[in-house]
Amino acid sequence: MMQGLMRLDLYTWAVIIGVLAGFVTRLLMLRTDYRHYPTYPHGHVMHLSLGLIAAGMGAVAVPALLDRNYTAITFLALAAQQFREVRNMERETMSKLDHMELVPRGASYIEGIAMVFEGRNYLVIFSSFITSLAVVISHRWYGGVITGLVMILAAARLRTGKVLREIAEIRLGNLRWEGANLFVDDIHLMNVGLKKDRERIEQHGVGVVVRPLDGVSVVTLANLGQRQAILHDVSARLGVYRDTGDAGLVPIAKRKLDDGRLGILVLPHEKDEQKILEAVARVPVLESAIRMPAETQHRNTSSVRRG
């Protein structure tokens, strides 16, 4: 009887500490800023509620499995399906909102954000599961607290991925005209026919040149989704000097084919060059834009040699 009571008490501690660790992990990762959805309290409530459910499922799974109640695996599978639906919902919502943006995010950026929301729920389940397991293995509640803190710190490190300054050198470029053709340094951007638009670009436009640091970065910057993410983030942080129907006032990013450099025209409301460089430097590198051509080539060469 006492042994059963002690076991119940241990499992109760495991569930409580596991749920707390998982929920704090989700709360820590729910960082709202200029580029991430949700940005309103209802969105916070929805995602924190899902985080609490995920934490509960991860924490309860340990006692259930130790009692040979394998139904817990079925519930985890159902949770995975539900979180996939959340990802689809986020994608659909942001895609509809994107049509209202003067400088849209683009499909790649939206898919990346939706994938992050799904992945964070899995991270919550993993964090609460490991924390709950630590309580049961150590037979001490503070063993779970220590493990939970470690999992929370690990989640904090995973909260942000790479940003543009880690893969490229970013500097200001010189905007110049050759007739109606607009260049930033030696990179051709576009043709602007109306003199009024050219004057407004001269007054409000800022040129930026992004030079990739290696071959992998060249491929990443060539991705159209990554370029659109740069334009959207800078416009979201500093505003954009354009309105609907202004076909000549469009932020644009074009590539120099010879060396992979990216020439960018931004039209910020606030023409602060340092803030513009910082905004470009902090743009996240999209997972869908990352390629490893050098590694792929090495693997293909190795396969040919073995063959």
Maximum mean pLDDT: which of 46-55, 110-119, 128-137, 160-169: 128-137
Helix (H) or strand (E) holding 181: strand 181-184
pLDDT tens, residue by residue, 153-176: 888 777 777 889 999 999 999 999
Which of residues 126, 158, 190 is at a domain's end?
158
pLDDT tens, residue by residue, 138-158: 888 888 889 889 988 888 777
137 with 250, same domain: the answer is no
Q: Does residue 301 register a pLDDT over 70?
A: no
285 with 196, same domain: the answer is yes
Q: What pLDDT is stored for residue 23 in this prediction?
A: 92
pLDDT tens, residue by residue, 72-83: 788 788 888 888
Q: What number is the average pLDDT over the span 119-123?
A: 88
198 with 150, same domain: the answer is no
Q: Tokens 């599978």 identify what position?
A: 77
Which of residues 143, 158, 173 is at a domain's end?
158
Q: Which domain holds residue 28?
A: 2-158
172 with 56, same domain: the answer is no
CA dist., res. 265 & res. 242, Å (int): 13
215 with 137, same domain: the answer is no
53 with 73, same domain: the answer is yes
21 with 147, same domain: the answer is yes
pTM of the complete model: 0.80
Q: What number is the average pLDDT over the span 281-297?
A: 75
209 with 225, same domain: the answer is yes
112 with 209, same domain: the answer is no
In which band, very low, low, confident or very high, does the pLDDT at 5 lie, cut at 50, 70 and 90?
very low
CB 19 within 8 A of CB 11: no
In which band, very low, low, confident or very high, does the pLDDT at 277 lie, cut at 50, 70 and 90?
very high
Length of the chain: 307
Helices and strands per DSSP (H, E), number in the chain: 10, 7
Query: Tell me, what DSSP letter sits at residue 166?
Result: G
12 with 129, same domain: the answer is yes
Q: What number is the average pLDDT over the span 291-298?
A: 56
Q: What pLDDT is stored for residue 232 in this prediction?
A: 93
pLDDT tens, residue by residue, 15-49: 899 999 999 988 888 764 444 455 566 677 878 88
CA dist., res. 42 & res. 87, Å (int): 17
Alpha helices in 159-245 (DSSP H): 195-204, 215-222, 224-238
Total tally of structural domains belonging to the chain:
2
149 with 130, same domain: the answer is yes
Q: Is residue 301 part of a domain?
A: no
CA dist., res. 230 & res. 284, Å (int): 8
CA dist., res. 110 & res. 98, Å (int): 9
Tell me the percentage of the chain whose pLDDT exceeds 70.
Answer: 88
Q: Are strands 206-212 and 168-173 parallel, antiparallel or unpaired?
A: antiparallel
Q: Is residue 148 part of a domain?
A: yes
42 with 101, same domain: the answer is yes
